Structure 1
Amino acid sequence: MAKQKRNAFYAQSGGVTAVINASACGVIETARRHKDRIGKVYAGRDGIIGALTEDLIDTGKESATAIAALRSTPSGAFGSCRYKLKSLEANRREYERLIEVFRAHDIGYFFYNGGGDSADTCFKVSQLSEAMGYPVQAIHVPKTIDNDLAFTDCCPGFGSVAKYVAVSTLEASFDVRSMAKTSTKVFVVEVMGRHAGWIAAAAGLVEEQGIPVVILFPEIVFDEPEFLARVDQLVRQHGYCTVVVSEGCHHADGSFLAEQGARDAFGHAQLGGAAPVVANLIKQALGHKFHWAVADYLQRSARHIASKTDVTQAYALGRKAVELALQGHNAVMPTIERLSDAPYKYRIGMAPLAKVANVEKFMPRDFISKDGFGITEKCRRYLRPLIQGEDYPRFTNGLPRYVSLKNVAVPKKLAAFDLK
């Protein structure tokens, strides 16, 4: 007896990446190849908020060419959001609303593309849907530039950020080196990474080209005297140096160098400004002339220099998410399982969301040098394959040609829902 054909819902969550749309492409194209099992594929406008407010997008209105172009387009094609659903006990009405919307639109597959918080939401939806008598197969599609999801070797989005940070550090360091005799001696760049220093670690790859770099990781407590001594040593030895600081760098008491006192929608401390703090410390203590920069959105949106490995894996995990759902799996996440470093080999695995949700993966201590300011060869072996290859978008008149979808709304069937 053939299984009932049901619709699918896909949403993007949290900070977007250069390759999150490649995962969307993988989900939608794979679903279209299984029209006997999956009917319409809806997307949430602005992420999970689209589901709560019944603001759905009919991806069936997009041509095959437009969907294929998502693979080389950065950011979130359907819109994303930083909206954390509370626990079932604290706000059951939101989860019940999700199931109500899914029921109204005959949605039986839920593909949520995001990081740790979205993995938790995905898991809760799978639990509640069963309890409410409307089963929904909830599959989490991993995405985070922070590379901090557990049970997967790497996360889509990270490889491209790592490539951008490594290339930018290399090129900026060449600039500083050329002017060091009479101008800037220290260049400080701030990268993302609240609790895990994977992004900052990528800058350590430039040491292979003789660039003197000091890296400040969230995993290593900031020691001001040791840091300043290391910077001064490199400037005296090379005439200049580059400092890469993770936004999550913190003091011994746990306070962030860059904490602004505000909180984001997920309840996390609002960070930003570690670079000028560090640069001014160098100026005041050592007197070296400096420049600083914050990579910010530039690092996560740089599709023009995306890692081919990253693009390939992002698409593969989106495709695998649909395949897992069709195989009957629920409350799981497709993962990357590394088989070897060189040559780089991996396979797509699967992890239960009960173990993935709300678990952060930090830099192993043996990936960080003994002095705490660089990376080890073991870390280099891990990073190198993830930044390999170029997957350039199509260029027109000198600029990347990215796709903007029509995002046609699906007619609403339910009463309005107030987001509180």
Structure 2
Amino acid sequence: MKSKTRSATGRLLYAQSGGVTAVINATAAGVIQTARAHRVPVYAAHNGILGALREELIDTTKETAAAIAALRHTPGGAFGSCRYKLKSLDANRAEYERLIEIFRAHEIRWFLYNGGNDSADTALKISQLGQAMDYDIRCIGVPKTVDNDLMVTDCCPGFGSVAKYTAVSTLEASLDVASMADTSTKVFIVEVMGRHAGWIAAAAGLAGEGPDAAPHIILFPERVFDEAAFLAKVKATVERVGWCTVVASEGIRSADGQFLAAGSTDAFGHAQLGGAAPVLAALVKEKLGYKYHWALPDYLQRSARHLASKTDADQAYAVGKAAVDYALAGMNAVMPVIVRTSDAPYRWKLEAAPLDKIANHEKKMPDKFISRDGFGITAAARRYLSPLIRGEAPPPYGREGLPKYVQLKNVAVTKKLLAFVR
């Protein structure tokens, strides 16, 4: 995790990867502000690792302190992100060598990659190649994912805010459904993100507690979708309560292992999902005859900075700061991870974890978090989830009633190398 020597001078390169979160820019602020305190200039890769490969770098020293500070409350990816996974060193060594060439040309001595499992793998491989090519580069993975599926860390920055948005939206929409159920909608279905892990769906369970409280049914990818059991649960709930709210993970599968709704694949080779809700709605209509509505929040889930969890925003900033501290201390191939030290009161700290324990692994919902009937969360899940959505960190608002978000100048760094052809 540590090298024998460290660079006294050089630049730090920061890049964002994969789907952004409501608080990923808070991490960027933590990185840049901490580096500035150490007088280390920061470049950012435009559109993630592709920007690094293309030598499309951004000079963050051209941004004012106020602009960088405003990143803490601004959603999106300030420097652009991408879904692009580098192949193995053996399969495409040229891309990795290109990155080292870019680092040499611009005196990049520290590389921080802000992403999930695939990004941790990329940072790990670059650190290995740097050693093989005798180039002093320290690579730090910085955790980010709404899916909460990174190993080792107790939770992932980005998850707490999407969890809060999901729980609040489920609560508010359910109050609407309850008020109209007598003459209108009987079943409301909301589809949330989560390909293989049901963390976001589970967070919806925080909206209410007890058999009659919404959500009445949660469908997890960790459980095989049982059509008969699902319909029976819907029918019983409507007959007892008068209406039913269903929260479904996009990754739910049938007994034959097929996603209920799958289309193309993304750049990481993952199934491009979205469409489970209308499939479920059609089932409800056909088999039970109930009026329904369904919703697919999609990007709204991960961009809702106005409803961010303060716990999440604080953790997102903290991992950015720690990543710089680790890099400047000479650490390599590690990630700052969140360690929970207490549930009540909720307390946490950061520790360095080796990237090889995180890269290409996936943390799913533990069985103890899913109720016996498979349609809800347990008390253990509530203890885990509740602290992560606590606290508010609203952005400043302008006279027109809209949040005041920042848009950086993103001044490009002059290129020094020939264009890279993949």
TM-score, normalised with respect to structure 2: 0.97
The answer to whether the 8 Å contact 2:198/2:221 transfers is yes
Aligned to 1:106: 107
- 2:372 is paired with a residue whose SS is coil
How many residue pairs get matched? 415
Q: Secondary structure at the match of 1:339?
A: strand
1:319 equivalenced with 2:321 (yes/no): yes
SS at match of 1:43: strand
Distance 1:192 1:99 in 2: 35
CA contact (8 A) 1:190 1:244 kept: yes
Q: The residue matched to 1:188 in structure 2 has which SS?
A: strand
Residue 270 of structure 1, CA deviation? 1.2
Indicate yes or no: 2:285 matched with 1:271: no
Q: Is the 8 A contact 2:186 2:242 kept in 1?
A: yes
Per mean C-alpha deviation after superposition, the further-off stretch among 206-215 and 117-126 is 206-215
- What secondary structure, in the 3-state scheme, does the structure 1 residue paired with 2:197 have? coil
What is the CA distance between 1:208 and its match in structure 2? 2.6
> What is the aligned partner in structure 1 of residue 173 from structure 2?
172
For 2:357, the equivalent position in structure 1 comes to 355
Hey, what does 1:64 align to over in structure 2? 65
Per the TM alignment, residue 391 of structure 1 is displaced from its structure 2 partner at its CA by 0.2
SS at structure 2 position matched to 1:383 = helix
Distance in 2 separating the partners of 1:79 and 1:212: 35
Structure 1 position 133, deviation (Å)? 1.1
Residue 3 (structure 1) shift? 5.2
Distance in 2, Cα, partners of 1:56 & 1:295: 33
Q: Does 1:373 align with 2:400?
A: no
CA 1:141–1:218: 2 relative to 1, 3 Å: same
1:212 Cα deviation from its structure 2 partner: 4.6
Superposition pairs for residues 140-289 of structure 1, below 5 Å?
A: 140-208=141-209, 210-260=213-263, 262-289=264-291
Q: What fraction of aligned residue pairs are identical, expressed as a percent?
A: 68
Q: Any idea what the Cα deviations from partners look like across 1:134-162, whole Å, max 9, x if unmatched?
A: 12100000000000000000000000000
Q: 1:405 aligns with which of 408, 411, 418?
A: 408
Superposed CA RMSD: 1.1
Aligned equivalents of 1:373, 1:358: Cα separation in 2: 29
1:5 partnered with 2:6: no
Q: SS where residue 140 of structure 1 aligns?
A: strand
Identify if the C-alpha distance between structure 1 residues 106 and 214 changes in structure 2 by more than 3 Å, giving closer, same or farther: same
Superposed displacement of residue 252, structure 1: 1.6
The 3-state SS of whatever aligns with 2:195 is: coil
CA, structure 1 residues 359+3, in 2 after alignment: closer, same or farther (shift >3 Å)?
A: closer
Report deviation, 1:207.
Answer: 2.1
Return the TM-score normalized by structure 1.
0.98
2:221 aligns to what SS in structure 1? coil
Q: Distance in 2 between matches of 1:89 and 1:281?
A: 47
Which stretches of structure 1, 4 residues or longer, exceed 6 Å deviation after superposition? none
Measured in 1, the distance between the counterparts of 2:258 and 2:63 equals 47
Matched, 1:44 2:48: no
- Alignment pair present for 1:339 and 2:356: no
Offset of residue 258 of structure 1: 1.1
SS in 1 for 2:113: strand
Report the 3-state secondary structure (helix = DSSP H, G, I; strand = E; otherwise coil) of the residue aligned with 2:208. Answer: helix
Q: Quick check: 1:212–1:234 contact (8 Å CA) kept in 2?
A: no
SS of equivalent residue, structure 2 residue 111: strand
State whether residues 84 and 267 of structure 2, in contact with CA within 8 Å, keep that contact through their aligned partners in structure 1.
yes
Where structure 2 has 5 or more consecutive residues not aligned to the other structure, the ranges are: none
Mark the runs of 5 or more structure 1 residues left unpaired by the alignment.
none
Q: Distance in 1 between matches of 2:368 and 2:8?
A: 50
Letter in 1 for 2:323: A
Q: Distance in 1 between matches of 2:345 and 2:232?
A: 39
CA distance in structure 2 between the aligned counterparts of 1:411 and 1:212, rounded to whole angstroms: 53
Partner SS for 1:399: coil
Instruction: Note the alpha carbon deviations across 1:143-200, whole angstroms, 9 max, x for none.
Output: 0000000000000000000000000000000000000000000000000000000000
Confirm or deny: 8 A CA contact 2:6 2:136 kept in the other structure.
Answer: no
Mapped partners of 2:312, 2:271: distance in 1: 28
